[in-house]
């Protein structure tokens, strides 16, 4: 791993021990502001304290912008990311205790956490479980690592699973989440022509014809059990669309009698059909019990 040699510009303050400790990478945007923080801690609220606070923000703002730059190309503008990072910087300055170590060690995770929260809470159009967001981040990093070399093929789900230690199901969930930051309006047009249609036009709807098929199948057995005359009356009434008076004339009975037969036959068929449905549901529950 390459390390960066501390650069001391003419007239710049000497690097602190924390900044030059072995294994610690120092950046030019980490100024020595220990004296300002000590002064800030001593001041009460007022114009003088606000001025010192603003001076600290100005001094450390380049570092906040650098941290924001790590999150570019993730669907959010760099200007917005810098504003979020600046907000994290202000929080870090307000909460920092000079007696607990170097400011950079406290500010970097604070600013980074603020930017990550921005992505988690603001960038998702739908509320996504934290676990899925973590899977997305692992998959994104793994894809980047596996395609660093020029000409590297797009890694498969199995490749990503082996690289991350995740299951293929978890990798698939993470890959779906990569494309799930935003939603598409149902009114969005999918065709550029004059006859363009929207996404809503492609969605299916409940078809009432299925209910008709189910009702007919449920009634078949009950119809077979009816006497021949009752079956004939129902056929003439509901399939030939004959009036009760015409049916009565054809059969030589009164219209009132036809009406009673139709009502009684329909009730019998309905009761038998509902009884079979209830029986099937009860049998299913007993089978699975």
pLDDT in tens, 187-240: 766 665 556 667 677 776 777 777 778 777 878 888 888 999 999 999 999 889
Does residue 286 or residue 187 have the better pLDDT?
A: 187
Range 153-163 average pLDDT? 89
**In this predicted structure, what is the pLDDT of residue 21?**
41
Q: Tell me the CATH number at 270.
A: 1.10.10.10
How many structural domains comprise the chain? 3
d(CA 68, CA 64) in angstroms, rounded, equals 6
**In this predicted structure, what is the pLDDT of residue 117?**
83
Answer yes or no: is pLDDT of 3 > 60.
Answer: no
Percent of the chain with pLDDT over 90: 32
Does 68 map to a domain?
yes
pTM to 2 decimals? 0.40
- Domain that includes residue 136, residue range: 130-148+155-178
Task: Kindly state whether residues 53 and 80 are assigned to the same domain.
Answer: yes
Does 188 map to a domain?
no
**In this predicted structure, what is the pLDDT of residue 196?**
63
The DSSP code for 10 is: T
Task: Spell out the residues 6+ positions from residue 36 whose beta carbon is closer than 8 angstroms to its own.
Answer: 52, 55, 56, 59
Token code pair at residue 76? 């959010």
Does 43 map to a domain?
yes
Does residue 128 or residue 271 have the better pLDDT?
A: 271
Residue 87 — φ and ψ, nearest 5°?
-65, -40
**In this predicted structure, what is the pLDDT of residue 179?**
66
Using left for φ > 0, alpha for ψ between -120 and 50, and beta otherwise, residue 24 falls in beta
The DSSP code for 152 is: P
Cβ atoms within 10 Å, residue 199: 13
Does 229 map to a domain?
yes
Range 44-57 average pLDDT? 92
Does 194 map to a domain?
no
**Among 258, 231, 262, which Cα is nearest to 247's?**
258
Task: Kindly state whether residues 108 and 142 are assigned to the same domain.
Answer: no
Indicate the average pLDDT of the chain.
Answer: 78
Convert the pLDDT of each residue in 97-139 to its tens digit.
888 888 999 999 999 989 988 876 666 656 667 788 788 888 8
Using left for φ > 0, alpha for ψ between -120 and 50, and beta otherwise, residue 176 falls in alpha
Task: Spell out the residues 6+ positions from residue 278 whose beta carbon is closer than 8 angstroms to its own.
Answer: none
Q: Can you tell me whether residue 198 is helix, strand or coil? A: strand
Q: Within a 13 Å sphere around the CA of 180, how many CA atoms are in the beta-carbon half?
A: 18
Q: Tell me the CATH number at 77.
A: 1.10.1740.10
Range 236-263 average pLDDT? 92
The DSSP code for 23 is: T
**In this predicted structure, what is the pLDDT of residue 61?**
94
Does 8 map to a domain?
no
Answer yes or no: is pLDDT of 169 > 70.
Answer: yes
Answer yes or no: is pLDDT of 64 > 80.
Answer: yes
**In this predicted structure, what is the pLDDT of residue 273?**
81
């Amino acid at each position: 791993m390459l390390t960066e040699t501390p650069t001391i510009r003419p007239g710049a303050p000497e690097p602190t021990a924390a900044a030059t400790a072995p294994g610690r990478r120092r950046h030019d945007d980490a100024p020595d502001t220990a004296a300002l923080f000590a002064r800030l801690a001593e001041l009460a609220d007022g114009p003088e304290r606000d001025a010192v606070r603003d001076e600290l923000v100005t001094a450390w703002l380049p570092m906040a912008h650098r941290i924001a730059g790590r999150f570019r190309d993730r669907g959010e503008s760099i200007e917005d990311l810098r504003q979020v990072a600046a907000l994290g910087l202000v929080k870090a300055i307000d909460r920092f205790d000079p007696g607990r170590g170097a400011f950079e060690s406290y500010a970097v995770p604070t600013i980074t956490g603020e930017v990550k929260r921005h992505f988690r809470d603001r960038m998702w159009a739908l509320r996504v479980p934290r676990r899925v967001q973590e899977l997305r981040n692992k998959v994104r990093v793994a894809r980047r690592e596996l395609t660093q070399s020029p000409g590297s093929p797009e890694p498969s789900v199995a490749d990503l699973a082996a690289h991350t230690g995740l299951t293929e199901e978890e990798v698939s969930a993470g890959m779906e989440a990569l494309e799930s930051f935003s939603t598409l309006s149902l009114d969005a047009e999918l065709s550029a022509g004059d006859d363009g249609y929207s996404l809503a036009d492609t969605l299916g709807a409940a078809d009432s014809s299925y209910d008709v098929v189910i009702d007919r199948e449920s009634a078949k057995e009950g119809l077979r059990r009816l006497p021949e005359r009752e079956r004939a009356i129902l056929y003439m009434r509901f399939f030939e669309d004959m009036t009760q008076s015409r049916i009565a004339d054809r059969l030589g009975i009164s219209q009132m009698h036809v009406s009673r037969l139709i009502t009684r036959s329909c009730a019998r068929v309905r009761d038998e059909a509902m009884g079979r449905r209830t029986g099937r549901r009860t049998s299913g529950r007993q089978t699975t019990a």
